[in-house]
Homo-oligomer: A and B are copies of this chain.
């Protein structure tokens, strides 16, 4: 882990956005929750963009849409490298890839999710048979185990992971909102430093202990979300219609 600014005390992890933004720097490895932009933390993403952080090495499910989720980081040429399962919804990222400006590695979605989780729970990797007989095998080590062939898929971590929660408390306990949960719970475990953005910050003890999805121990900082500032794709289509 690199040197980084001091973390807030464990009993109160709530920090102003500006304090959280101290943890982002050029050339860093950054992992984000979200699936097609849904569940990607909007305020942190905007903050990273406005701070001018560039040359990013990103890990996430996808590149969002040009104006949604992580999309603007690509549109504004802040990304050097991406590990994702697809970029079909962000043609600008596709163009950058075609022109050689953006290095992209694809991983099957479920494999990518397990690789991130493996990093999050301190495993070295997982054995997967998805993608055997396809280009997903390219460059991968294979391993024979109990008569079957598997790809060795290394664990993934990142210097910083950012996630989007519905509610958080000062200990960093998180719950998510419906399908905005998607990649967030395991991305939250995989950051060397994890920063959660929450729509609502509630008092300690207000979250049902049986329903907490991410225990606070995995979260280093919590920032108040300013909410979604983009137009969802299906809203854009309606506007155009």
Contacts and interface: CB of A to CB of B under 8 A. Distances in A.
Interface of A: 114, 118, 121, 123-129, 141, 143, 145-146, 148, 150, 152, 154-155, 175-176, 178, 208, 210-211
Contact of A124 (B128, B175, B178): B128
Contacts of A141: 145
A207 B1 CA distance: 41
A187 to B, nearest CB: 17
Q: Which 3 pairs show the lowest CB-CB distances between chains A and B?
A: A124-B127, A124-B150, A211-B211
A125 B127 contact: yes
Contacts of A121: 114
A145 B153 CA distance: 10
Contacts of A143: 124, 143, 152
Contacts of A176: 210
A119 to B, nearest CB: 11
Given A123-B126, A148-B124, A210 B154 contact: no
A210 B175 CA distance: 9
A146 B150 contact: no
A216 to B, nearest CB: 17
A145 B124 contact: yes
Contact of A154 (B129, B146, B154, B178): B146
Contacts of A211: 208, 210-211
B210 A178 contact: yes
Contacts of A128: 123-124
Given A114-B123, A145-B152, A211-B211, 6 more contacts: A123-B128, A124-B145, A126-B126, A127-B152, A178-B210, A210-B211
Contacts of A123: 114, 126-128
A120 to B, nearest CB: 12
A34 B117 CA distance: 23
A125 B126 CA distance: 6
Contacts of A154: 145-146
A148 B211 CA distance: 36
A145 B143 CA distance: 12
A26 to B, nearest CB: 24
A145 B118 CA distance: 14
